[in-house]
Amino acid sequence: MQIFLSYTQHRSYIVDELVQLLWKLPVSKRALRSYHLPDEDQKQIQMVTALLIQLVHSSANLPEALRHATTGHSILEVSLDATYISKCHEAITETCCLFWTRVLQRFTAVKAQDSAELKLLMENLVTDLLTTLNLPEYPASALILEVRYRDMLHLHGS
């Protein structure tokens, strides 16, 4: 048995587990949101949404030079590869695409009577992402929604 997984295999496994968690969530509004956001309004989101945002956010790997920078001044002096930003964006986009692909695969496999519950699950997820959209602590929310929006436009445009 292989103990060490590649980054892609590891990410795929985590996304699959996250989608499994999403499908096990209760759809009632009561006791659904238990993850407190750091703001003055005491807003809350689902724990699974917070996990998704963290997964996408952590998909962008810091270059080795930035990992070892110890002060703000040394961070400013680090020289980065010109392709670093695009590589980070690609990794984040791949994670978002993988998540939405797995979610939509589950949607297509459900029975008609379960579709109302799944609609509520998706509604709750999107509501949470919109709640965190303008919070600086959660920059990945915008990318998760952007990837879904682009997919929807692509489906309706073709």
| Cβ-based neighbours of 61, under 8 Å, separated by 6 or more | 88, 91
**pTM summary value:** 0.79
In angstroms, what CA-CA distances link 157 with 13, 53, 79, 124, 149?
31, 28, 41, 26, 12
Is residue 26 over pLDDT 80? Answer: no
Q: Which residue has the higher pLDDT, 76 or 129?
A: 129
pLDDT by residue (tens digit) across 131-155? Answer: 999 998 899 999 999 999 988 888 7
CB 140 within 8 A of CB 57: yes
pLDDT by residue (tens digit) across 84-135? Answer: 778 888 888 999 999 999 998 888 887 766 777 888 888 999 999 999 999 9
What's the alpha-carbon Rg for the chain, to the nearest Å?
18
Distance of CA 25 to the CA centre of its chain: 17
Is residue 66 over pLDDT 60? Answer: no
Across the range 11-18, mean pLDDT stands at 88
Is residue 1 over pLDDT 50? Answer: no
- First-to-last C-alpha distance (Å) of the chain: 43
Q: Please, which pLDDT band fits residue 75 given cuts at 50, 70 and 90?
A: low
Structure tokens at 78: 């680090």
Angle at 141 between CA 19 and CA 18, to 5 degrees: 15
The confidence score (pLDDT) of residue 31 equals 56
